[in-house]
Structure 1
Amino acid sequence: MPSFIFFHRARRTFSNDELGLEILEIAIPAALALAADPIASLVDTAFIGHLGPVELAAVGIAIAVFNQVSKIAIFPIVSVTTSLVAEEDAIGPLSSDEQESVELLDASPTFNKETDDLLPKNDTGESQQNTPSSNAYWKKEGFQKRNIPSATSAMVVSCVLGLVQTMCLIFFAEPVLKRMGVHKDSPMLMPAQRYLVLRSLGAPAVLLTLAMQGVFRGIKDTRTPLFATVVGDVTNIILDPIFIFVFRWNVSGAAIAHVISQYVMSLLLLWKLVQQVDILPPTISDLQLGRFLRSGFLLLLRVIASTIVVTLAASLATANGPTAMAAFQVCLQIWLATSLLADGLAVAGQVRYRYISVPGSRISTSELAFRISTHGVVLGVALAIILYPGLYFGGILFTKDENVLQLIRRCVPFVALSQPFNVLAFVFDGVNFGASDFAFSAYSMIFVSFISIFCLFTLSASQGFIGIWVALTTFMTLRTLAGYVRIGAGVGPWRFLRTNAFT
């Protein structure tokens, strides 16, 4: 059975070979960069928690709205950008006719002599990757910049979506918050609205930053995004206490500090990017917007489905009052921050798959799937062991309200023990994205979300606040199962595992 690729040759899990070292080289900086923004939100949460439970709950619901709205645009942009940029960096930018040939590779079971025949050829019959259109050729000949049209596509789309998001949140902040359960007479409404409107001013910088991170991931550079993210988050940490306590801007100060840090990150990344990539393609047709938007639309469906689940969970927590929402905010931010550490492995799997896809690679895709998944299991177990006592005793860092702390401690088993499933869900997503299996990723998430929404309504009605976390744990478990079945059953782009899983 193809599913045995997840269990065979376990002794090679941490081998210091070419694949193992490259996974760590890509995954560790990517994980730190991805976890940095949720950690910055945790810093906001820690500072705001000392203003009182009402302010903490208000910012919690505002952050939930902003993150979920941003995620709708961010996730498709980053994932599609990473895959397209990695492909173009490996085999070079292609014409519109050549793109059709390469798209056939996305559904190909393996990459050998047969898939080499699908690659565009030059006049001498060589694969396109060995012609002057290849970025590898340009780098060998001493050119300083890569020609990657999809990088410009991602930046154009992200800027437009960022401006649209800003306008929508500014004009519809109050009705959106009311739909989330913050009623007109609630003490949470005014601070939540102020925080959300101010944070929305940073939306263009957020989306542009994430698009550029996707470009850097695609060229296997995860250190530059980490550097920019650390600089931005340090800026946020420095400005937070100044704006909140010294200037007495309260929740508005936290929002302003976060917005400034986002623009710092975007400017740093743009400065670094123009040194490596030619972000202005020769013609509009080279932007590949059609291919970018087709794949992005599938991932958009996927993100909308998952966003509805998390947003509904936040709304149900809000309906239980400020104490429940404050506890939910702390647990959710920790849950997201630790889970995103796994996305570093997902990035490594996605990027490495595209380079393995190039004919002549010495590493098999089955070996990649095995190695990434076993790393994920180890990381998930480690996070669970660390997080259980850490969250149980560390909740006091975020609030001194005893009622909030009691609810946080009741959620510890769900937040901590779900980590192995969370990690594997991200890992399977990353490998499937690398195989451009976007359609399955979208439709499976829609199916899982329907089940999870039913669980949220049912369990929250019967079990209250704890029922919400049981439903979220079920959501992540079903996501993991869907990814496992897709690869383990040897279907779609993984059909080749039925015949050569152990070659």
Structure 2
Amino acid sequence: MILSDRRVRVQHVENSTDERVPARKVLGLAVPALGVLAAEPLYVLVDTAVVGHLGALPLAGLALGGVLLSQISGQLTFLSYGTTSRTARLHGAGRRAEAVGEGVQATWLALVVGVVVLIAGQLLAYPVARGLSGSDEIADSAVSWLRIALFGAPLILVTMAGNGWMRGVQDTVRPLRFVLAGNAISAVLCPVLVYGLDWGLEGSAIANVVAQVISASMFLAALVREKVPLRPDFKLMRAQLGLGRDLVLRSLAFQACFISAAAVAARTSTEAVGAHQVVLQLWTFLALVLDSVAIAAQSLIGAALGAGSSKQARGVATQITRYGLLLGCVLLVIFAALTPVLPNVFTSDAAVLAEIPHAWWFFVVLQPIAGVVFALDGVLLGAGDAAFLRNATLGSAALGFLPLIWLSLAFGWGLAGIWTGLTLFMLLRLASLLWRWRSGEWAVVGAVRTN
């Protein structure tokens, strides 16, 4: 039974008593986490390259089906991030069995939610695909892939839960091995099934499920080896769902913004949407790099607060924020230097290349801001301060990103207007996160955060 812990709120005054952790400890958590974050996009690239040689229609089907499947992990991040927050506190308090128990309950949630997603996906696959594509042929192709790939949905969620509890106990190396094992075997299997057995697009979907089976099985085996009770605990699951609600709403705000941006870019011109896609994919990739620092922050902040050390939590928060700023500055310099050559790697279309500068310099200049914002996201997630993150993200989206996006459509501001909206969104998030960080209201010590 988890005992209620005394909650202490500490006004943050940065001083010499704030404790740090060795930089190598941060890197030891962040680098393997980056590998896990990058593994899935890299596998998608391999899958795309294999299917791309089948022709335009299978590639379009894979693109649409893949977007729909990715929404599962995109909207259910609480299974990883929320689990890390709760697990890290218990780990910091020296209660490893209870920490791993959070992973057990997150895994049960993953299986239940995954089965619901599987059933709903089978029923809704065609109407949703048809509505998004506007084409019977593309919808048919996407659904043929998606109906098979959906069998991996419960396993994707199990992997997310496994990542969550292992990060919480400061083990980011095993998750990297588990994810790489599944994706590597699947990457080899994909061309064999697609071409060797002539299963076409469906072969790609089967390879995808195989990857999820391998990774999820390894995470499940790791849970069993911990020798903790594996039975469901509905009280704990309800608590995890409470945190999950805030993180799902936060994710929906991001989705609303970026889907709206894509829609407005598409209505601006074909060249504009192409340029937006190029710059947005680079933004997404660098977000993964910066997010690896945030994952280290979640684990370290949760452990410090679980151990009752608000000083160390504040010290680590300052340390991680500085690392995020430094990394963002490095990325700014690198991508500013690559401006003359990098866009040409993605397209040779002169009209698209002419549109890219309208978004490019926003993307470059935003990197230091993103570095700080993502680092502070990790700090507050590690502290379990999800309600504040939800409100800050929803408010920044409603006041910044969304109005500028739709004004861009109304007044023909194009990509410059869209990326001005993203800039305002990030600045509003930066201001709110800095205020919260300085207030110290997030630093609630104890093995369990009860508010």
Normalising TM by the smaller chain, what interval? Answer: 0.7 to 0.9
* Separation in structure 1 between the aligned mates of residue 47 and residue 345 of structure 2, nearest angstrom: 12
* Separation in structure 2 between the aligned mates of residue 328 and residue 44 of structure 1, nearest angstrom: 23
Listed one character per residue, the Cα deviations across residues 142-187 of structure 1 (whole Å, up to 9, x for unaligned) are xxx777322221011111111222223332234334554x2236x6
Instruction: Please give the residue correspondences for 1:105-144 in structure 2 after superposition, counting only pairs within 5 Å.
Output: 134-135=95-96
2:180 equivalent to 1:230: yes
1:24: Cα distance to partner?
A: 1.5
* Separation in structure 2 between the aligned mates of residue 60 and residue 321 of structure 1, nearest angstrom: 21
Listed one character per residue, the Cα deviations across residues 37-62 of structure 1 (whole Å, up to 9, x for unaligned) are 22323334455556667765654444
2:116 equivalent to 1:164: yes
What percentage of residue pairs aligned between the two structures are identical? 29
2:310 equivalent to 1:308: no
User: Structure 1 residues 44, 266: closer, same or farther in 2, change over 3 A?
Assistant: same
**Amino acid across the alignment from 1:170:** Q
2:389 equivalent to 1:437: no
2:101 equivalent to 1:149: yes
Equivalent position to 2:430, from 453, 477, 480:
480
CA contact (8 A) 2:405 2:421 kept: yes
* Separation in structure 2 between the aligned mates of residue 310 and residue 231 of structure 1, nearest angstrom: 32
SS of the equivalent of 1:426 reads helix
* Separation in structure 2 between the aligned mates of residue 245 and residue 394 of structure 1, nearest angstrom: 32
Residue 76 of structure 1 is matched in structure 2 by 78
- Which moved further from structure 2: 36-45 or 321-330? 321-330
* Separation in structure 1 between the aligned mates of residue 123 and residue 339 of structure 2, nearest angstrom: 37
Equivalent position to 2:237, from 256, 265, 289:
289
Residue 459 of structure 1 is matched in structure 2 by 408
Residue 447 of structure 1 is matched in structure 2 by 395
> TM-score under structure 2 normalisation?
0.81
Residue 40 of structure 1 is matched in structure 2 by 43
1:430: Cα distance to partner?
A: 1.0
1:351: Cα distance to partner?
A: 1.5
Instruction: Please give the residue correspondences for 1:244-255 in structure 2 after superposition, counting only pairs within 5 Å.
Output: 244=194, 251-255=201-205
1:34: Cα distance to partner?
A: 1.6
1:217: Cα distance to partner?
A: 0.6
* Separation in structure 1 between the aligned mates of residue 83 and residue 212 of structure 2, nearest angstrom: 20
Equivalent position to 1:211, from 122, 145, 161:
161
Listed one character per residue, the Cα deviations across residues 273-302 of structure 1 (whole Å, up to 9, x for unaligned) are 322352515x736x5123222222222222
The unaligned stretches of length 5 or more in structure 1 are 10-14, 93-133, 136-144, 497-503
Residue 276 of structure 1 is matched in structure 2 by 226
Residue 89 of structure 1 is matched in structure 2 by 91
Listed one character per residue, the Cα deviations across residues 246-270 of structure 1 (whole Å, up to 9, x for unaligned) are 5565554444333322222111222
How many residue pairs are counted as aligned between the two chains?
431
The unaligned stretches of length 5 or more in structure 2 are 1-10, 446-451
2:134 equivalent to 1:183: yes
* Separation in structure 2 between the aligned mates of residue 241 and residue 154 of structure 1, nearest angstrom: 34
Listed one character per residue, the Cα deviations across residues 189-234 of structure 1 (whole Å, up to 9, x for unaligned) are 4444444444333211111100010010111100011111222232
- Which moved further from structure 2: 154-163 or 476-485? 476-485
SS of the equivalent of 1:221 reads coil
Residue 368 of structure 1 is matched in structure 2 by 316
User: Structure 1 residues 189, 362: closer, same or farther in 2, change over 3 A?
Assistant: closer
CA contact (8 A) 2:12 2:314 kept: no
Listed one character per residue, the Cα deviations across residues 295-324 of structure 1 (whole Å, up to 9, x for unaligned) are 222222222222222233344455568776
Listed one character per residue, the Cα deviations across residues 383-415 of structure 1 (whole Å, up to 9, x for unaligned) are 334445668745676667676666667644344
**Amino acid across the alignment from 2:155:** A
SS of the equivalent of 1:492 reads coil
CA contact (8 A) 2:168 2:299 kept: yes
- Which moved further from structure 2: 213-222 or 49-58? 49-58
1:466: Cα distance to partner?
A: 5.4
**Amino acid across the alignment from 1:446:** L
* Separation in structure 2 between the aligned mates of residue 217 and residue 473 of structure 1, nearest angstrom: 31
SS of the equivalent of 1:148 reads helix
User: Structure 1 residues 480, 259: closer, same or farther in 2, change over 3 A?
Assistant: farther
1:378: Cα distance to partner?
A: 1.6
